[in-house]
Amino acid sequence: MLCHIDGLQGSAPIYAGVQLLGYHKKGDTPAPIIYHYVDPLNDPDPGPDDDGSVIAVGGIKLFHNYVGDINLLYFGLQEGQVLNSYLTKALRITANTGSFTIIPKGSFLIDRSYTPVFNSRIKGIDRNLTKIILNPATATDSGDFENYMFLNLNGNFELTDVELDANAPNLSASVSRSSGIDNRNAVSNATYKRLRIKNAKTVLPNFSGGYGITFWHGGCDHVTIDDIEFENIGQSDLGLFEMENWTVRNIKSKNCGYMVINVESSNNSRGVKNGVVDTVYASNVAEVSFH
């Protein structure tokens, strides 16, 4: 491509842009993609090189204006890599647009407690095809008690069509426990569909901690949890605490340590209100417990 840079520049350029047939090699993106030359004298600066929408090469910038969903393959994601930086780059574009950031088929790591920006929508190809594993290199016993995979602090978050495996195999016995998704800070409008969450548990044999999905600290509302498979969860598959306007449907549980759905309300005026639980499949545990 460098040999054609002169053809992109000047008052009478030969080319308006370039078409890339892949990222690392031909055919490794869902489709070819066209990047347009950014004229530094006449075009607005699209920002720094982000390895996906803006590419700086040979002293020039090329820009692709994504419209709609963005597959992380366009940002160079490969099998086995850590997702965090790729998600952050793509979500800067898709957040607030209603579009999804798509995690492709394969197995990928995620550093603990990844916090998506407000109005983020993330999806995989299918929970049998897109697998996300807690990165053991970032698990900690810092006093935070949990090694969450996703930590939703900002609301308006949707996650669908992936498997979350919270089993970081190299954790030391000092680490308390791992969990799939934690929602706090009174988040609203959270949607989780067609997920499989497994191996969220403690590494200590005498402690059954670990949750699949939790909503803590009160004030969470307008939550939809639908078609979730839980497997090998140490304590509760779902922890719903002090929340309103929530729906839980089509839950399948296998080897849950304590109870499938734990609904709790502290002694305050908010409590747990306007909730629906429909269709729970489980064995040898209490399906739903209200406190």
Dump pLDDT digits (tens) for 33-54: 998 888 888 889 999 999 999 9
Decide: 271 and 245 in contact? Cβ < 8 Å.
Answer: no
C-alpha R_g of the chain: 22
What is the per-residue pLDDT for 261? 76
Dump pLDDT digits (tens) for 98-120: 999 999 999 999 998 899 999 99
In the sheet that holds 54-57, the strands lie side by side as 17-20, 33-37, 60-63, 54-57
Euclidean distance between CA atoms 288 and 38, whole angstroms = 57
50 and 83 assigned to the same domain: no
Strand partners, 22: 26
- Domain holding 31, by residue range, is 1-65
Q: How many helices (H) and strands (E) in the chain?
A: 1, 21
Euclidean distance between CA atoms 155 and 213, whole angstroms = 15
What is the per-residue pLDDT for 137? 83
What is the per-residue pLDDT for 60? 83
149 and 5 assigned to the same domain: no
37 and 146 assigned to the same domain: no
Q: Which residues contact 99 (CB under 8 A, 6 or more apart)?
A: 68, 69, 70, 121
Decide: 77 and 104 in contact? Cβ < 8 Å.
Answer: yes
Q: Is 5 helix (H, G, I), strand (E, B) or coil?
A: helix
206 and 87 assigned to the same domain: yes
What is the per-residue pLDDT for 117? 92
Decide: 203 and 237 in contact? Cβ < 8 Å.
Answer: no
55 and 77 assigned to the same domain: no
Which of 37, 65, 93 is a domain's end point?
65
Euclidean distance between CA atoms 160 and 194, whole angstroms = 6
Which of 40, 65, 90 is a domain's end point?
65
138 and 274 assigned to the same domain: yes
Residue 258: alpha-carbon gap to chain centroid: 26
Written as six digits, the tokens of 222 are: 């307008």
DSSP conformation class of 82: B
Give me the number of domains the chain comprises: 2
Q: Which residues, given as ranges, of the chain have pLDDT below 70?
A: 1-16, 141-146, 168-177, 202-209, 217-219, 259, 264-291
The residue with tokens 């839950």 is 251
In 3-state terms the chain splits into helix, strand, coil percentages (rounded to 5) of: 10, 45, 50
What pTM, to 2 d.p., does this model score? 0.86
Longest dimension (CA), the chain: 75
What is the per-residue pLDDT for 211? 84
| Closest to 177 measured CA to CA, from 258, 277, 281 | 258
173 and 31 assigned to the same domain: no
Decide: 177 and 139 in contact? Cβ < 8 Å.
Answer: no
205 and 264 assigned to the same domain: yes
Amino acid at 185: N
Q: Which residues contact 3 (CB under 8 A, 6 or more apart)?
A: none
Which of 42, 65, 88 is a domain's end point?
65
Euclidean distance between CA atoms 133 and 121, whole angstroms = 19
34 and 145 assigned to the same domain: no
284 and 142 assigned to the same domain: yes
39 and 113 assigned to the same domain: no
Q: What is the CATH number of the domain that holds 260?
A: 2.160.20.10
Decide: 42 and 13 in contact? Cβ < 8 Å.
Answer: no
31 and 78 assigned to the same domain: no
